[in-house]
Structure 1
């Protein structure tokens, strides 16, 4: 139990959506706990907004939120460091600046993109961060024409470890941007994916809608063929190759490199194994939230900020209960909700185990996405 003389110490690893949402839940449930955040920098990078960087709708400074004020309000100690491993069954976090001990631990360091495809250095992986989106912006400014290839793939051992939604947004956003600039006729856009039903985690109704939208926009598709390699000027698949002057590619995700230096239980796809309560089996008072974890549930369970927020509530409730020595079996609902945006209009997709809804593209959904961004970031500014 917590006392004024001896508050329990909870350490949160990672300053992304999962880590910060968990901090808010922990503080709400335990005003007296000592909380430490370990991350490379005290700032949140709002990656959903990078889809608007190529068009100039967003800049770097719009998407980086310093966390000093948030950490002060939440009374959180910050340790600037890279995590390198765990010891003492999770009670000690090993970092690049020394050990950090804890009474309870939250793993929220995100995932890592699988960069094993030969020639992947010829492609830009947008969700690696703001710098990647800026590279796309700069390349588009330099190009006077040519072929732009946009695609994604998954982790064959982890169906949920894929992030395809942003690639549809980059595809449609670039198409819209080139039209606005009066340059679209000089470019050929190609969407590629090893599946013949790309984005099926969004639901088959959405897949059909997206493919129809590509056809309407004059975007070619190359589907259903396993990727072989990228070259400087082409994409090579088992079903043939095609020229590409700019390649945007999102590979599947796996676990962080530092997981390999631990005895954490791992899923077949390399993520930290979790139960339905976000607890890590075999590790007392250790929970995992967000992209770092492999959770039981449908194979379409999304890797997105909304899902991390839902998991954070369950993880915080169960970790506090474990520290109190009382039973708790909080779970999280599985829900996919996203707006596939195209600069000034968007399509709403909502999926739960019970239903799958698609609402066609309107300007209202674009502004809803921008409104959500403003409201979400307000709590951290």
Structure 2
């Protein structure tokens, strides 16, 4: 039986481990933490409607259920020429069949230590809750949420979770009857954050911002973060008692230092079948890879899962486990999410033909909660997978 080594225990790596097992491979998954953190539902931790333990799903459960080996360790280097990786505790490992699903690093901004991110290390979701609780106890404050860009690869922008947490915090403060005591401002260096969702979605977002008395600071590059605010390129300042900021994705340092083929941002260059250019038998999926496609393309969890399933299928073809045609991730490029707002949601969809944002009062919020349950149950194989989800 052919062995495959998968590095990365996030959404992409987990999907790859499950589907490589389905295709008949012996699988070892290497992760630097013992759980998959379900980032799409982490937005509720800071406002107290979910807990860390509900969002962090143990990899050991998935390992036992699907029969793959789980190793908790951290990759420190990759050498494609020698077909080897180096682990912090496990030393060098050689492999002819590797799947890189290690996710992205983050752009480095001056003073970033003065911010917290809902898309950063999982523990920051709890730190955000502590900061929010402290502000509520104080009774008033200035709150600034934002996200940044990567000029070398715009697909690494993560704006949606910032908007979701912003709306959820607004709803939380309203329920407590203290929303009018807080200044809430959203900031971003681009003139139209969220533009990739399409013009109709932008118009609706602007309406929601005005209705809920959100201030904005758009179109100014971020010079630095300070303990009590954000300083922009023109030295103007946004005062803040709490700054939540999502830096854009960037290549992992150990990947940038490798001999893998990379794009200018440090993401791994692949073909449409997720095969790493020039490295036979090695694949890259999810945020670690360089996507090709339309200008509005975005790295999302469902795209990472498509790439994982396609890599498993294409590997099975390459090793003669099955017959058929290779599958391309480009056929599935779209933007798809339920943007939760605490008391409802907006269904966001975009492809080459259309761009939608459909309001879903009340039921949208419960649909997103249901998706979190569905993710866990379907990954464990307790319920059937719904195509496209």
Same fold (TM over 0.5): yes
Superposition map of 1:276-355 within 5 A: 276-324=272-320, 328-332=325-329, 333-355=332-354
CA distance 1:114–1:294, shift in 2 (3 Å) = same
Given candidates 41, 61, 66, the residue that maps to 1:69 is 61
Runs of at least 4 residues off by over 6 Å: none
Contact persistence 1:84–1:261 (CA under 8 A): no
Q: What's the offset of the Cα at 1:211?
A: 1.8
Moved more, 341-350 or 319-328: 319-328
Superposition map of 1:64-143 within 5 A: 64-87=56-79, 89=81, 91-96=83-88, 97-115=90-108, 117-143=109-135
SS of the counterpart of 2:156? coil
CA distances 1:239-273 after superposition (whole Å, capped 9, x unpaired): 52221111111111111121133200111111111
Contact persistence 1:167–1:250 (CA under 8 A): yes
Establish whether residue 14 from structure 1 lines up as the match of residue 8 from structure 2. yes
Q: What's the offset of the Cα at 1:286?
A: 0.6
Establish whether residue 210 from structure 1 lines up as the match of residue 205 from structure 2. yes
Given candidates 152, 156, 164, the residue that maps to 2:159 is 164
Specify the alignment match of 1:50 in structure 2.
42
Contact persistence 1:69–1:380 (CA under 8 A): no
Specify the alignment match of 1:59 in structure 2.
51
CA distances 1:251-310 after superposition (whole Å, capped 9, x unpaired): 111111211332001111111111111111010111111000002112322222111111
Specify the alignment match of 1:262 in structure 2.
258
SS of the counterpart of 1:371? helix
Cα distance in 2 for residues equivalent to 1:83 and 1:66: 20
Cα distance in 2 for residues equivalent to 1:69 and 1:185: 45
Moved more, 274-283 or 42-51: 42-51
CA distances 1:183-208 after superposition (whole Å, capped 9, x unpaired): 11111001111111111122222122
TM-score (norm 2): 0.91
Cα distance in 1 for residues equivalent to 2:349 and 2:82: 37
TM-score (norm 1): 0.93
Specify the alignment match of 1:188 in structure 2.
183
The runs of 5 or more residues in structure 2 that have no matched partner are 381-389
SS of the counterpart of 1:185? helix
Contact persistence 2:80–2:260 (CA under 8 A): no
CA distance 1:323–1:150, shift in 2 (3 Å) = same
Q: What's the offset of the Cα at 1:42?
A: 3.2
Cα distance in 2 for residues equivalent to 1:180 and 1:129: 28
Q: What's the offset of the Cα at 1:41?
A: 2.9
Cα distance in 2 for residues equivalent to 1:129 and 1:202: 26
Contact persistence 2:21–2:68 (CA under 8 A): no
SS of the counterpart of 1:37? strand
Contact persistence 1:104–1:323 (CA under 8 A): no
Cα distance in 2 for residues equivalent to 1:265 and 1:152: 28
Q: What's the offset of the Cα at 1:90?
A: 6.2
Q: What's the offset of the Cα at 1:233?
A: 1.5
Cα distance in 1 for residues equivalent to 2:230 and 2:110: 11
Contact persistence 2:96–2:282 (CA under 8 A): no
Number of residue pairs matched by the alignment: 372
Tell me how large the CA RMSD over aligned residues is: 1.7
